[in-house]
Chains A and B, each alone.
Chain A
């Protein structure tokens, strides 16, 4: 683990019109850390990840990734980010290989052919490399989307419910990819509703609810009754606190 946090977020506020989605959110993550971001539907997890990935601008507050300020230095940040979102970010009329080649050019990846083969092997699509993505099943598209996100070996990997639509094999493939990425000192932030899945994957568990991170716990400090109990208690506590604050 390196010392300076790769992701630093202070007092982040995000509004959509009059609606405040994130209020005073503080967050940090270091190299080698694997953060599972949990929270109820509509808590703002996707919004937060979109801000980290520079796709959406913060209304107020400070967001720094690898020492670069967002949104001002977004260009420098983008090279070091890998993103898996709800959507596959793939072109249906290009083959798996062509999709990766296109993104490889956009990221200026050296020895792209080798890298494409490595990635397709990694996500188990080597046999379908010349097939159009529009003929892929949802899970296969998701596999390729994951391959696309790690194609340029990013320092920070952001994933929004990446397990959705994946079969058992693919889930294990994804977990292996994520472990591999984290083991190389990269930072991973992943949202998920599948607590049993993230429980043995992540090194830290953050609960995002009511606009900010209300609880955070390291793997080593996990109470004996497990992640689900911790998650429930955190939501309960946040609700009690905000009711008190509201009165």
Chain B
């Protein structure tokens, strides 16, 4: 167990340290996310009432696309200099490698969210932080998305067409997360009663648990030759 945590910590530390240097992932994800927000802002000149109903859709589309860029980069860094082999050669449980990458990717998405939410609040003149429930949904949704995304990115990176392949593999599989997250988010934003939001939260929880478990079990086979 101690070994497991040490390896997990090493992978997370390595990803964060490299990212602090290069800012490669975060800058790409952020520029993309902000562009999406601005485009929506101009494309959908919305009145106050309509805005509320599209907010969660815009937010999640932003997270999902920016996240894909991050996931692709995160695994491409491992592949390009053979580092994935270096990780696989280490005498550690391979699920520790998976979790390490997933945690780092999760943190990157959280950073993106921490910047996107205030920018959105300013652009659309609302306060998204007024709803703690929304923050919970973002955490749960991002967890499910990253759990599956890290696994599929590890799969896609082995192929020649990895940049195209990841979204094609990933989007259908994360559709339940996306739907549940959008519904739950807009529920909170529109102040719906908890009874209407709860089923979506439950779906997110179940998805997170199930897909984290599946990814945990199959990662070893995905990276094997």
Contacts and interface: CB of A to CB of B under 8 A. Distances in A.
Interface of A: 50, 53-57, 75-76, 78-79, 81, 83, 85-94, 98, 102-103, 105-108, 132, 148
Contacts of A88: 81-82
Contacts of B10: 102, 105-106
B89 A102 contact: no
20 contacts: A50-B225, A53-B89, A54-B89, A76-B91, A78-B90, A83-B85, A86-B82, A89-B83, A89-B86, A89-B89, A90-B81, A91-B81, A93-B19, A93-B24, A94-B21, A102-B10, A105-B6, A105-B10, A106-B92, A107-B91
Contacts of B9: 105
Contact of A98 (B17, B85, B88): B17
A81 B89 contact: yes
Which 10 A-B pairs have CB atoms at the shortest separation, nearest pair first? A87-B82, A89-B86, A105-B10, A79-B91, A93-B18, A106-B90, A78-B91, A56-B225, A93-B22, A93-B21
A98 B92 CA distance: 19
A199 B10 CA distance: 40
A75 B4 CA distance: 13
Contacts of B14: 91, 94, 98, 102
A91 B87 CA distance: 11
Contacts of B86: 89-90, 103, 148
Contact of A105 (B7, B77, B93): B7
B81 A89 contact: yes
B190 interface: no
Contacts of B19: 93
A79 B17 CA distance: 25
The secondary-structure label for the interface of chain A is: loop
Interface string B39-59: 000000000000000000000
Contacts of A76: 91
Nearest to A79: B91
Interface residues of B, number: 28
A229 to B, nearest CB: 35
B18 A91 contact: yes
B73 to A, nearest CB: 12
Interface in B71-127: 77, 81-83, 85-93
B85 A87 contact: yes
Contacts of A81: 89
Contacts of B89: 53-55, 78, 81, 83, 89
Given A88-B82, A91-B77, A108 B22 contact: no
B3 interface: yes
A163 to B, nearest CB: 18
Contacts of A86: 82
Contacts of A105: 6-7, 9-10, 13
Interface string B1-42: 001001101100110011101101000000000000000000
Nearest to B3: A108
A186 B10 CA distance: 28
Q: Among the interface residues A50, A76, A108, A132, which one has the most CB atoms of the partner chain B within 10 A?
A: A108
Given A55-B88, A79-B91, A108 B82 contact: no
A75 B91 contact: yes
A66 B85 CA distance: 21
Q: Among the interface residues B6, B13, B90, B92, which one has the most CB atoms of the partner chain A within 10 A?
A: B90
B164 to A, nearest CB: 23
A149 B100 CA distance: 22
Nearest to B20: A93
Contacts of B85: 55, 83, 85, 87, 89
